[in-house]
Structure 1
Amino acid sequence: MSTRLHHLISLAQLDRACITRLLDRAERMRDASLHGTRKLDLLHGRTVLNLFFEPSTRTRTSFELAARRLGADVVNFDIARSSTNKGETLLDTLHTLEAMHLDAIIVRHRETGTPEFMVRHAMSGVSVINAGDGNHAHPTQGLLDALTIRQHRPDFNNLTVTICGDIRHSRVARSDIHAFTALGVRELRLCGPESLLPEPDDVPQGHFTEDFDAAVEGADVIIMLRLQKERMAATLLPDESAYFERFGLNSERLKRAAPGCLVMHPGPINRGIEIAPDVADGAQSRILEQVGNGVFVRMAVLAEVLGR
């Protein structure tokens, strides 16, 4: 993957060198833009479209900020007022948008494989960036999580990372797993109730466990995931108080982790279900750093796929 990317659909095909290059570029973007206070002009004359078929706060806003800070024009596609509500197919929508001479489409969709479908059927040279598809991938979240960890714990080869929660339905977990594995993390623990863990063939990396206390023991990084209620059958919905009792990260459990363990969460947070409020807002929390890093990672990705 030494060549420049034209699309970003998943981290599964990216090697350590490519991921490191994107993380390095994100840090250069942060410094060059004075932590976002100064606009760069790398993408002047380029047009970026946000095509979000699912709700989003962090991802959509940070992609828009990233594109604008690089000097691009940004169009936010309003699904609620679009012809998709009149029965227009995704393929027709794609070709209609392409006819308006876009340079990049950032797409989020509930159906797994939608960004790849758009790459296969695009008739122009438009770049496609996956902002989350089904439970498949969320590559820029994986990159920003890796960047956040690297800023505090740069040697992945000596890290124990625990991911806990609804891993079965989480596209974030899959992208994190790809990123951390490529970067050489020493130990990756995947924890949750059996019904919310993926099949081993689906996620071959990592050690699976239902024992959260054991999964937290000595961990350098703990990433908590919310329950993906919109993607799971009603039969899989756990009792929230019982779930927090077994799999919630509270201050007592955090004491089992390594000193200075980083606490992370991709958001949105369900306080008191997967994480206690005092931990989410505590000294070891890096949740808001993740949000801030999201802008610089997405600047790096846009510059990679669209930069002249």
Structure 2
Amino acid sequence: MNNLLTVESLNETEILTLIKRALTLKEGESPRKFHDKTVVNLFFENSTRTRMSFEMAEFNLGIHAIPFDADTSSVQKGESLYDTCRTLEAIGADVLVIRHGDNRYFDTLEDINVPIVNGGDGSGSHPTQCLLDLMTIYENFGSFKGLKVVISGDISHSRVAHSNYQALRKLGADVYFSGPREWQDAGLEGAYIDFDEAVETCDVLMLLRVQHERHFVQMTFSKEGYNAEYGLNPARYEKMKDEAIIMHPAPVNRDVEISSELVEAEKSRIFSQMQNGVFMRMSILENILKENN
């Protein structure tokens, strides 16, 4: 694997290889060390989980990680993303981890000769989040085939929804959507089901926050109204299948898409996903650096 730009670029074998390596790392197997390698983390959008888990993964692999602050860089002087990346290539970066607000920003970087890991592009793709989600599902069920996965919430603005939809279907899961119909994405072919039906019948309930920063019109739902109609609350939680799990890429809007007391409920895997993010990103970086060593 030379780059990781979209999860669609990976086949089933490659996905399962990354998952199984991440799980062995989680179980305590020593990672390969890359003391002579440098990664630059370029985050042009705010991030807590993705950025911090990449930094922890890099630390665990012995990588020298260089943070990048767009607000104090030459981006403020008009420098293009290409020229920024070309500069980092010239000074010796071995991998670039990039989060950017433009969909498919990486199409402008085809001439960059440094591996790129996409940390999220606009509302397009979020392959590393998708892979840690897949790891969490595999860890709980041992397979994907035949699982009923419901992705619910702000589908049209979610890069997580787009990446997970593609990968889960490739791996044999049945993917459905729920939540406000006006936020569904006509480009995704999964069937839409009522939220109460989704809660009662799914194996995996993947909740999404409202992507306020990508909405160009004011949201018409109140916090309480959204939770009553499309949120996971205690009454709905009690109707879930015994073995079903709850997922959320976070940050969580507590008491909106999920009631606060359920964020760490028995069926919730929200913080397990965050933990798995470190091991999956270790697996990804290890794979890329071995390929490009």
Fold shared by both chains (TM-score > 0.5): yes
Superposed structure 1 runs of 4+ greater than 6 Å apart: none
Shift in Å at residue 41 of structure 1? 4.2
Alignment-mate amino acid for residue 121 of structure 1: D
1:23-80 per-residue CA deviation (whole Å, 9 max, x = no partner) reads: 01111222345xxxx7x44322011000000010000011111111111110000111
Shift of residue 163 of structure 1? 0.9
Q: Which residue of 1 aligns with 2:200?
A: 217
Deviation at 1:177, TM superposition (A): 1.2
How many equivalent residue pairs? Answer: 291
Q: Does 2:287 correspond to 1:291?
A: no
How many angstroms apart in 1 are the aligned matches of 2:44 and 2:269? Answer: 28
Counterpart amino acid of 1:303?
Answer: E
Measured against aligned partners, the alpha-carbon deviations of 1:148-205 in whole angstroms (never above 9, x if no partner) come to: 11111113223111111001000011111122112111x2111121211111xx212x
Query: How far apart in 1 are the matches of 2:147 and 2:161?
Result: 17
Secondary structure of the structure 2 residue equivalent to 1:291: helix
Task: Tell whether the 8 Å contact from 1:226 to 1:274 is kept in structure 2 after alignment.
Answer: yes
CA positional deviation for 1:249: 0.5
Distance 1:23 1:41 in 2: 16
Separation in 1, partners of 2:82, 2:11: 31
Counterpart code for 2:275? G
Partner of 1:203: 188
Match of 2:56 in 1: 65
CA distance, structure 2, for counterparts of residue 63 and residue 195 of structure 1: 34
Equivalent residue for 1:121? 111
Letter in structure 2 aligned against 1:64 = E
Q: CA deviation at 1:82?
A: 0.6
Match of 1:108 in 2: 99
Q: Distance in 1 between matches of 2:97 and 2:45?
A: 12
Displacement after TM superposition at 1:13 (Å): 2.5
- Report if the CA contact (8 A) 2:32-2:286 is conserved: no
- Residue 230 of structure 2 is aligned to residue 247 of structure 1: yes
- Partner residue in 1 for 2:175: 188
What is residue 153 of structure 2 aligned with on the other side? 165
Partner of 2:142: 154
The residue type paired with residue 9 of structure 1 is L
Residue 23 in structure 1 maps to residue 19 in structure 2: yes
* In 1, Cα distance between equivalents of 2:116 and 2:185: 27
Q: Distance in 1 between matches of 2:5 and 2:107?
A: 7
> Residues 89-124 of structure 1, C-alpha deviation per residue, up to 9 Å, x if partnerless?
212212111111111000000110113322x131x3
Are the counterparts in 2 of residues 229 and 237 from structure 1 also a CA contact under 8 Å?
no
CA–CA separation in structure 2 for the residues paired with 1:264 and 1:230: 21
Distance 1:305 1:273 in 2: 38
State the TM-score, normalized to the length of structure 2: 0.95
Per-residue CA deviations over 1:243-277 (Å, capped at 9, x if unaligned) read 11110001211233211310111100000111001
Is residue 84 of structure 1 aligned with residue 67 of structure 2? no
Three-state SS of the structure 2 residue aligned to 1:145 is: helix
Identical positions, percent: 39
> Given residue 180 of structure 1, which amino acid in structure 2 is its aligned partner?
L
Give the Å deviation of 1:284: 1.0
Between the aligned partners of 2:51 and 2:12, the Cα distance in structure 1 is 27
TM-superposed deviation, 1:296: 0.5
Cα distance in 1 for residues equivalent to 2:201 and 2:219? 30
Aligned pair in 2 of structure 1 residues 138, 62: CA closer, same or farther (>3 Å)?
same
User: How does the TM-score come out when normalised to structure 1?
Assistant: 0.91
Aligned to 1:301, the other structure's residue is in SS state: helix
Any stretches of 5+ residues in structure 2 without a counterpart? Answer: none
Report the Cα distance in structure 2 between the residues aligned to 1:189 and 1:215, rounded to whole angstroms.
8
What is the alpha-carbon distance in structure 1 between the residues aligned to residue 26 and residue 106 of structure 2? 27
Following superposition, the deviation at residue 237 of structure 1 comes to 4.8
Q: Residue 9 of structure 1 contacts residue 116 of structure 1 at CA under 8 Å; is this kept in 2?
A: no
Q: Deviations over 1:278-300 (max 9, x none)?
A: 11121111111000000000001
